[in-house]
Structure 1
Amino acid sequence: MTVSNTPSQSDTPPKSRGLLSRQSLTVRVLVFASIWTVIAFAAVALIISTLYRTSSERAFADLLRAHLNTVIEAVSIGDDSLLQGNPQLGNLKFSQPNSGWIWIVDPIDAGSKVTGRGLTSPSIGGQALPLPAQFEIAFDSQYIRTYRLIDPNENSILVAETEVELDGQGNAVRIRVSGNLDVLEADVSSFINRMVIALLVTGIGTLVINMLVILFGLKPLDHVRASLEKIRNGDADQLDGEFPREIAPLASEVNALIDSNKRVVERSRMQVGNLAHSLKTPIAVMLNEARNLPKEQADLVKNQVGSMQSQVTTYLDRARISAQRGSVLARTDVVPVIERLLRVMKKLNSHLEFELDVRSSETLIGLEAQDFEEILGNLIENATRFADSKITISVKDLPNPMQLLVSVADDGTGLDDDDKKQALKRGQRLDETRPGSGLGLSIVGEIVQEYQGEFRLSDAEVGGLDAILYLPRAAT
């Protein structure tokens, strides 16, 4: 706590944090589960589509090899050394022009006695297919090679080629069979589209199920939250109810922490009471014995003993406040306390007007009720000594959501800056003609400091003094 007349740095709003840090645990889990689901399903889709394409290409090549064997079986060399045969491959596309499904049987010139032209399927339409050199694409162990081409009709085709000897006399032919790759691509595309739709439906269903499972699984945390709220409101002393095995240790530790906090507070209060009781009698004895001393010595002893009594009271209060500070059980609604004090003050100061201005919807602070009463009582009593006709008590929100502003302003003559500093010192009285000990504002500052709040003196809008409190809100 700082006691000053400079602007408060605590009024600055807290820095915003990252998006996920403000979200609930449910949102975080759903976000990461969604990201993982998208990545996993994308990987599955890529793997399955790759495997299906590879399998389809292999099956397509095997089909062409089967057609190649069928052509070999259906072709022969006649007595006139001409090629003859009419392969029936069971696919009408070999008869359709520009279909990309072609078979070709060509005699090999070197050492061949086959005469005439080769045989072709009707689908080629009298055109020819390019022939890659053997050094570009080699034959495999079965003396078959496959390669891709663009036929004269701009079809992308896969060709299976082999060379065979038909009559055992060195008369060899080159046989080629091709298939249109558009058929393969159409089949693969159709499969991928169906697979993507299936994965999307499955993925969305998975996310919905994950959300339901998470919401159901985290339901006990709502019960914990509700129980903690009851504790903060003073409706319960500990977390009650049955909790899942994973949350039960947390609930037990919270209950143990609350019990420990209560024991510390009670022990501190008991020790404070014992100390106050043990010091009360010796101080009273000294004051009584001082009466038997000469006046000068008696006055000295009384002043010193009074100072001791004041110091003991102050530090006993500090010990009690320190024990209570930060406890979830330390909470006070300022409005009822102010209203109760004003009812008393109005009776004692009927010549003054008291106004309460509340501009906050949440007026719970983290102070004990008796401490707040002592703070506000000192400020109002001080204001009644210097006010001309009116005292205003204000309760307002601050940019800092962790604090609440409470101020007491009078319409008196006010103080200059030097007098404000002097007024905050213990035992200082600026007007000796008025009653008082000079301890009120000092006590206010000390109590507020113990609760980690702030206390300042400023100029009131109506011309007098404005005593401003920045008090910590109750834990929520």
Structure 2
Amino acid sequence: MGGFRSLTARVLLLATAWSAVALVVIAIVISQLYRQSSERAFTDLLRAQLYNVINSMTIGEDNKLSGNPQLGDLRFSQPETGWYWIIEPLGTFAATPLSSSSLGTSNIKVPTILSVPFNNRYERFYRTNDAFGNTVLVAETEVVLDGEGRAARFRVSGNLAVVEDDVHGFSRNLYITLAVFGVGSLIVNGLAILFGLLPLKGARRSLERVRRGEVERLEGRFPREIMPLANDINALIESNRRIVERARMQVGNLAHSLKTPIAVLLNEGRLGEKVPSDLVRSQAEAMQTQVQSYLNRARIAAQRDSLLARSEAEPVMERLVRVMRRLNPDTKFHLSVSPPSLAVALEQQDLEETVGNLLENAARFAKTDIWVAIAPSSPPPGSEGEAARRAWVELIVEDDGPGLEPEQITIAMKRGKRLDESKPGAGLGLSIVSEIASEYNGTFNLDRGAHGGLRARLLLPGVTRDAA
């Protein structure tokens, strides 16, 4: 079974089997066609010789058959050849039968007219054996020779060994030719297959160099069929490299962000006094927020370039809007997803958190209406390379509230900043949306919408139709 795990062995085996079957079928078909053609030509030859005999025969003044058929074939004069002509008077015509010298005093077996009837040309052809063991084909007809109605039966036979020898000789040459052609084709096919699979070996060697650390990506010129695979492998290598670098950076950032709360707690502990519970709770909440934030970033980073990061936009949006309508019965939500099959290259959890934060923020400040729309979009300005080639979607959440001024937008985007302390919330929603969009290489911005309120615009990576 080991050989069948080799792509080269499989292709060679299939090519060999198909070529062998095809050549055998071709040989059989051509041989049968040639046999039919030879038998048809043999029959036509006997018919022509039959009518040559008929044309050469007359009834003499002595009421006897006379004539000397000249068929141009010495086999009609050589004994036991199987090539004969025979003329037998019919009815009251009592002339002496005539035959070729090759027949001698013997005769050939003749089937009855019932078993082999005449055709519409008043001819019949049948196979029989002569007295010498030859299998012959006989052409027979009956002809009226004069105005008095005297008739005779004419027969001309030919030895079928001629046809068999011809067919066997042709078939032998055909089989030899096809065998040589088949062996040559197998050699050429084998070389073509080995040559065609060379790029795979080149890709394997390049991948081994990557594994040994000699290069950072697959290098070389690959055929169009293999280039997408090479590009995907390079993208995977680059993604893994970015994940490792980002993990190192985020571990350092997390350690730095936890250093201050931990130092505060340790300092309070050294004082020997009872540490206030509010201080402990605030510092613990700060550390929990930082840990959760970096865990989310690590999870998003691991899924960002994965083919499995995919969410159907319509069911997610409808579910979130349905929940918001129940929580805000006095607010009208207008949802548009075009096309309905639109998919976003985000984990469903991240898409839900992003849209949920935007809807909650809009619901807090909207007067009566909120508009939610998601549709395909062009790449972000300045995009190049893979970012410019991939699909993108635009998500817009707009309300008819008071909106924000440019300087207020800058403050609102900062983590933990709230412009209106009278409204519920922790001030983390917009910053979380911005972080998620950034982690997926998207963009997020706020401005004043057409209805006077705040418009949140997200540009996120989409899923192409091929990937879908």
TM-score computed with the length of structure 1 as normaliser: 0.56
1:183 and 2:162 aligned? yes
C-alpha offsets along residues 434-458 of structure 1, whole Å, 9 cap, x if unaligned? Answer: xxxxxxxxxxxxxxxxxxxxxxxxx
Which one of the candidate residues 62, 66, 69 is aligned to 1:87?
A: 69
Deviation at 1:226, TM superposition (A): 1.2
What is the aligned partner in structure 1 of residue 43 from structure 2? 61
Is the 1:77–1:114 Cα contact (8 Å) retained in structure 2?
no
Deviation at 1:148, TM superposition (A): 0.7
Deviation at 1:284, TM superposition (A): 4.1
Determine the C-alpha separation between the residues in 2 that align with 1:280 and 1:176.
120
2:29 aligned partner, one-letter code: I
Determine the C-alpha separation between the residues in 2 that align with 1:21 and 1:51.
38
Determine the C-alpha separation between the residues in 1 that align with 2:108 and 2:124.
15
Deviation at 1:130, TM superposition (A): 2.1
CA RMSD of aligned residues (A): 3.0
In the TM superposition, 1:288-437 aligns within 5 A as 288-293=267-272
Determine the C-alpha separation between the residues in 2 that align with 1:245 and 1:153.
72
1:250 aligned partner, one-letter code: L
Which one of the candidate residues 224, 241, 246 is aligned to 2:220?
A: 241
Deviation at 1:243, TM superposition (A): 2.1
What is the aligned partner in structure 1 of residue 5 from structure 2? 22
Gaps of 5+ in 2: 275-279, 303-468
1:211 and 2:190 aligned? yes
Which one of the candidate residues 164, 178, 189 is aligned to 2:143?
A: 164
Deviation at 1:118, TM superposition (A): 0.2
What is the aligned partner in structure 2 of residue 105 from structure 1? 87
Is the 1:164–1:173 Cα contact (8 Å) retained in structure 2?
yes
What is the aligned partner in structure 2 of residue 229 from structure 1? 208
Is the 1:148–1:156 Cα contact (8 Å) retained in structure 2?
yes
2:216 aligned partner, one-letter code: D
1:130 and 2:122 aligned? no
2:189 aligned partner, one-letter code: N
Secondary structure of 2:257's partner?
helix
What is the aligned partner in structure 2 of residue 368 from structure 1? none
Is the 2:86–2:156 Cα contact (8 Å) retained in structure 1?
yes
What is the aligned partner in structure 1 of residue 18 from structure 2? 36
What is the aligned partner in structure 2 of residue 283 from structure 1? 262
Deviation at 1:189, TM superposition (A): 0.5
Is the 1:146–1:158 Cα contact (8 Å) retained in structure 2?
yes
What is the aligned partner in structure 1 of residue 232 from structure 2? 253
Secondary structure of 1:122's partner?
coil
Determine the C-alpha separation between the residues in 1 that align with 2:147 and 2:168.
46
Secondary structure of 2:224's partner?
coil
Is the 1:150–1:156 Cα contact (8 Å) retained in structure 2?
yes
What is the aligned partner in structure 2 of residue 198 from structure 1? 177
1:159 aligned partner, one-letter code: V
Is the 1:83–1:114 Cα contact (8 Å) retained in structure 2?
no
Write out the 4+ residue segments of structure 1 that deviate beyond 6 Å after TM superposition: none
Gaps of 5+ in 1: 1-17, 296-300, 324-476
Deviation at 1:259, TM superposition (A): 1.1
Deviation at 1:81, TM superposition (A): 1.5
Determine the C-alpha separation between the residues in 2 that align with 1:169 and 1:131.
27
Is the 2:110–2:128 Cα contact (8 Å) retained in structure 1?
no
Determine the C-alpha separation between the residues in 2 that align with 1:118 and 1:261.
104
Identity of aligned residues (%): 55
What is the aligned partner in structure 1 of residue 392 from structure 2? none
Determine the C-alpha separation between the residues in 2 that align with 1:22 and 1:166.
80
1:32 aligned partner, one-letter code: L
1:26 aligned partner, one-letter code: T
Determine the C-alpha separation between the residues in 1 that align with 2:194 and 2:263.
65
User: Larger relative contact order (C-alpha < 8 A, sep ≥ 6)?
Assistant: 1
What is the aligned partner in structure 1 of residue 402 from structure 2? none
Deviation at 1:288, TM superposition (A): 4.1
Is the 2:79–2:102 Cα contact (8 Å) retained in structure 1?
yes
What is the aligned partner in structure 1 of residue 247 from structure 2? 268
TM-score computed with the length of structure 2 as normaliser: 0.57
Which one of the candidate residues 120, 144, 161 is aligned to 1:141?
A: 120
Is the 1:94–1:101 Cα contact (8 Å) retained in structure 2?
yes
State the aligned residue count.
289
C-alpha offsets along residues 415-470 of structure 1, whole Å, 9 cap, x if unaligned? Answer: xxxxxxxxxxxxxxxxxxxxxxxxxxxxxxxxxxxxxxxxxxxxxxxxxxxxxxxx
